[in-house]
Amino acid sequence: MFNKFKEIQKKQKAYGYVMGIVGWDSNTEAPRDSFEHRAEMMGIISSEMFKLSTSKDYQEAVYNCFDSIDELDNLQQREIKQAKKDLDKILKVPEDVFVEYRKTLTLAQRTWEEAKHKDDFEAFAPALDNIIQQNKKILEYIGYKDIPYNELLDDFEEGYTEKDYDLFFETLKKDLVPFVKEVLTNGKKIREDFITDVYPRGKQKEFVEYLMKVLNYDYNRGGLKESVHPFTWHTHSKDVRFTVRYLEDFVFSSIFAGIHELGHALYEQQVDSKLDYTNLGGGTSSGIHESQSRFYENIIGRSEEFWQVHYPKLKELFPKQLETVTLEEFVLGINRVEASFIRVEADELTYPLHILMRYEIEKDLFGNRLETKDLPRVWNEKMVEYLGIEPKNFAEGVLQDVHWSAGLFGYFPTYALGSAYAAQFYYTMKKELNFEQLILDDNIQAINEWLKEKIHQFGSSKTPKELLKEVTNEDFNPKYYVQYLKEKYSKLYL
Amino acid sequence: MFNKFKEIQKKQKAYGYVMGIVGWDSNTEAPRDSFEHRAEMMGIISSEMFKLSTSKDYQEAVYNCFDSIDELDNLQQREIKQAKKDLDKILKVPEDVFVEYRKTLTLAQRTWEEAKHKDDFEAFAPALDNIIQQNKKILEYIGYKDIPYNELLDDFEEGYTEKDYDLFFETLKKDLVPFVKEVLTNGKKIREDFITDVYPRGKQKEFVEYLMKVLNYDYNRGGLKESVHPFTWHTHSKDVRFTVRYLEDFVFSSIFAGIHELGHALYEQQVDSKLDYTNLGGGTSSGIHESQSRFYENIIGRSEEFWQVHYPKLKELFPKQLETVTLEEFVLGINRVEASFIRVEADELTYPLHILMRYEIEKDLFGNRLETKDLPRVWNEKMVEYLGIEPKNFAEGVLQDVHWSAGLFGYFPTYALGSAYAAQFYYTMKKELNFEQLILDDNIQAINEWLKEKIHQFGSSKTPKELLKEVTNEDFNPKYYVQYLKEKYSKLYL
């Protein structure tokens, strides 16, 4: 029976693979006018995939295996449990409810884009409300632990409930918000002229390629391309590609988005390739994934040690732009803190506060304590409370993110959680490795290997909670995150 | 029943689409180490496609429609005839014979590469012989008109038999071979220094992009990329991409391979998009496709008029390299004639003689008048006879082409046929359009439109023979080809 399961799963993999490649193509180079035909073709392929994944054969295989799960080895058990979880979910929701929801999302995407463009929240509100109501309806079919929002949270971060996140965000609110205020009002002068100087894209690309070597990204199992929004994409451990964009008047974008995506990519490349043919390949959760990208981007990539080694290379590529900029000025520049409206442009220190407010909003939306129409008001109040600034329009306020229009609720919190995980891993790593020295020795490979051994190789065969416990010898603890941020930014700013 | 046929065909289209995108990806950017996984995944997808295309449902739909074909409109009738033809072929050959043949080809590919690399014909001979024997066996299952080779020829050029090709190649032998000898021994001095000068790839790319505009290629329905061997690729009329390569010491490669591929691409982009959802989309045959690429590459792209308009742009991009090169010297340089060993590097005039000898060899192989082991001798004899030169090794002789190792017999003749078609179209076009003036006016679009109206729009809903007759008012006639070459090269050389 397990063989039958594997046989069908392999077909699912094949469909997943081709959909993945078509997705990559459509996000990076497919011609504009091919959209319609592709949509139609992919509709057919995904419906074949759906048929396969809900077929009587597949149900029988999964449920029979589950009934005699003790006969399977540990990895197989994990596979079956995961398959059953996914299958249960599909089968519980009537197909027409799913189809209706997909349709809603497709339309909402465009509505959001237009509303954002026209800075008109009212234009988006009915669509957003529709998404939320349909989501709630679907959650009633699927079921949840205690409250509906828990199911959404669990979707992105297995085992995490509102209770867990409350604990986390309360800590941030209590310990971080006052510290951020202190930094923001400190008045330290930061040299900014070089940040927005012009850096030609050809040279930026050269530097990103240099970073790929520094971080030991394996080009034979991936590739680099350009896209409007940087992203990492994989079909299996031997094909993990990423994109960056080159803004000539903001070189930090390609450097740090580059290191960020490389972090995601290194994780995927280091998953044990034996998991490629299971449903346990790929990173285990959004939070753990984000912990890796943020680890590379912030903890390594924005450290002074990293630039002690690599600043000369950057100066070599941009001699004019950086001629008079000292290493100290540069490091301060890449760690500049400021209250800003747009989450994706926020710095490391203020970033979690953008997430905090989104979490509180989602929680209240799904707890029926907040209505869609009140979103703009609540949004602005929270911006003032946590960051001391008030958006002047919807585009830089409540309409800025794509997530909600795509039906992604419960996703935002993992962004902050990822940074917090990263900090907790960091303090463990420091006990076992001479972290600063490795960076000074240009030996990122040793860090990669540590992460591979402790985290990456397992793909999603361990849950986030299991990983945290096994790697750091304790459960998730947000104090490390606060500690890390305070140490780093006290040194830089206070 | 026709609806049922269309329904299944649409699924076939979807599989074809994803296989197409994966193919493009793997030929242009997929990472090296992803090969194995992709092969496995695509094996599953093509087997799903095969099941669908031989399913009882599909057979029933096709054969039932065929039985009452008079009830269908003209286009539908074409569709059903095509589908039946394809289906008959699949069903006639036992599956294990097909599978065996596929395996043989996969292995032969590598054997050929190694043999070519080691310059060892003996190492490849058994594999080649195996391919030929299996091909003959398959032809016995499929059936053929008069002789087996006819079936192979028909595969690439519907309606063409050995008799047709004999007529064509006899004309070339009689009328062209002596003329080529005359040109080759004429002793005209051609300036060559600038041809192999260094042309940086960035500027070459800029010029190819310029050519895309000149030829009115629609970037919203395609794209340009790099690959080792230039090729054009499409899934439907709104997604037609092509590649070139940039050789810094041979700028003609990107220019003329670029125009050549653009010719293929313009054809595909101009097929009526209503054919996207039929089996009649895409160019009608190898020969007609090649006629379009050669028309653009040679008849337009190597004409003096074309460079009267565009040489200034090229000089602007490469001022140093072309500073002292006059337009006349340049035009002579791009039309340089020389006896050479490698087909793909041959000039317009000697090219058909490379094809002539391949045709004669294939014909004798499948007519059982030539054994595989004798290939090298016969090859060299023919090189001496037609071009007056003898290869010094197998790599520049009988082992140079990939085709036979890939089982492609009957394909080569279409290359020369394409050029001959192009000439016949050309003389018709000249009666209806002021060809030279349009090129001087930088109005290639008018030529595109003529080709669209007469040829492109029909996709493969007309056979090559039908097209020739309808466009030129006569059957295929090789005299135009000889006439065109003699006119052009007499003017340049004699």
Using one digit for the tens of pLDDT, what is the confidence trace for B93-113? 998 998 899 999 989 999 999
> What is the chain B residue with the closest CA to A222?
B31
Which conformational region is residue A143 in: left (phi greater than 0), alpha (psi within -120 to 50 degrees), or beta? left
pLDDT at residue number A185: 93
Q: Which of A17, A31, A219 sits opposite B41 (nearest CB)?
A: A17
Residue B320 pLDDT > 90, yes or no?
A: yes
Residue B31 contacts A where some CB pair is shorter than 8 Å: yes
Q: Give the pLDDT of residue B308.
A: 98
Check pLDDT > 90 for residue B187.
no
Say if the Cβ atoms of A29 and B276 lie within 8 Å. Answer: no
CB within 8 Å: B225 and A29: yes
Whether B203 contacts chain A with CB within 8 A: no
| A37·B239 Cβ contact <8 A | yes
Comparing CB atoms, the residue among B14, B19, B220 nearest residue A32 is: B220
Contact A28, A225 (CB under 8 A): yes
Q: Is A52 on the interface with B (CB under 8 A)?
A: no
- B436 has catalytic annotation: no
Phi first, then psi, for residue A233 (nearest 5°) are: -150, 140
Q: Which of B151, B158, B261, B348 is catalytic?
A: B261
Look at residue A176 in the predicted model and tell me its pLDDT. 97
Distance from CA of B283 to the nearest CA of A (A): 18
Residues of B in contact with A45 (CB under 8 A): 14-15, 18
The pLDDT tens digits of the residues spanning B237-254 come to 999 999 999 999 999 999
pTM for the model:
0.93
Q: Which residues are CB-neighbours of B126 under 8 A, at least 6 positions away?
A: none
- Which H helix or E strand runs over A244? strand A239-244
Residue located via tokens 């090269």? B489
Q: What is the share, in percent, of chain A residues with pLDDT greater than 90? A: 97
| Residues of chain A positioned with their CB less than 8 A from the CB of B45 | 14-15, 18
CB-nearest partner of B17 from A33, A41, A221: A41
Residue B174: its pLDDT value, please?
97
Chain B nearest C-alpha distance from A68 (Å) = 29
Residue B230 has what pLDDT? 95
Q: How far is B405 from chain A, CA to nearest CA, in Å?
A: 27
Give A-chain residues touching B36 at CB under 8 angstroms: 238
d(CA A263, CA A214): 12
Res B356: pLDDT: 98
Residues of chain B in contact with residue A235, where contact means CB-CB under 8 angstroms, are: 34, 37
What's the pLDDT score for residue B238? 97
B30 to chain A: which residues are within 8 Å by CB? 223, 239
The stretches in chain A having pLDDT less than 50 are none
Residues B236, A37: C-beta atoms closer than 8 Å: yes
Q: How many CB atoms sit inside 10 A of residue A291's CB?
A: 31
Neighbours of B252 (CB within 10 A): 16
CB-CB neighbors (< 8 A) of B269 in chain A:
none
- What mean pLDDT, rounded, does chain B reach? 96
Q: Residue A47 contacts by C-beta under 8 Å, 6 or more apart in sequence? A: none
- Chain A contact for B13, CB < 8 A? yes
* Minimal CA separation from B19 to chain A, in Å: 8
> What ipTM is given for this predicted complex?
0.92
State the smallest CA–CA distance between residue A125 and chain B in angstroms.
Answer: 33
B51 has a pLDDT exceeding 90:
yes
- Residue B25 sits at the chain A interface (C-beta within 8 Å): yes
Partner-chain residue, chosen from A31, A44, A236, that has the shortest CB–CB distance to B14: A44
Indicate the Cα dihedral angle A344, A347, A353, A355, nearest 10°. 30
Q: Which residues of B touch A218 (CB under 8 A)?
A: 33
Structure confidence at residue A243 (pLDDT): 97
Q: What is the pLDDT of residue B494?
A: 87
Q: What's the gap in Å between the CA of B43 and the closest CA on chain A? A: 9
Partner B contacted by A235 (CB < 8 A): yes
pLDDT at residue A187 in the model: 84
Which chain B residues are Cβ-neighbours of A42 within 8 angstroms? 14
Nearest to A45 among B14, B30, B223 (CB): B14
Whether residue A481 contacts residue A349, with contact meaning beta carbons closer than 8 Å, is answered with no
| B395-422 pLDDT, tens digit each | 999 999 999 999 999 999 999 999 999 9
Number of other CB atoms surrounding residue A106 within 10 Å: 11
Residue A65 has a pLDDT of 98
Does A289 reach chain B within 8 Å, measured CB to CB?
no
Q: How does strand A232-236 pair with strand A239-244?
A: antiparallel
Interchain proximity A41–B19, CB inside 8 Å: no
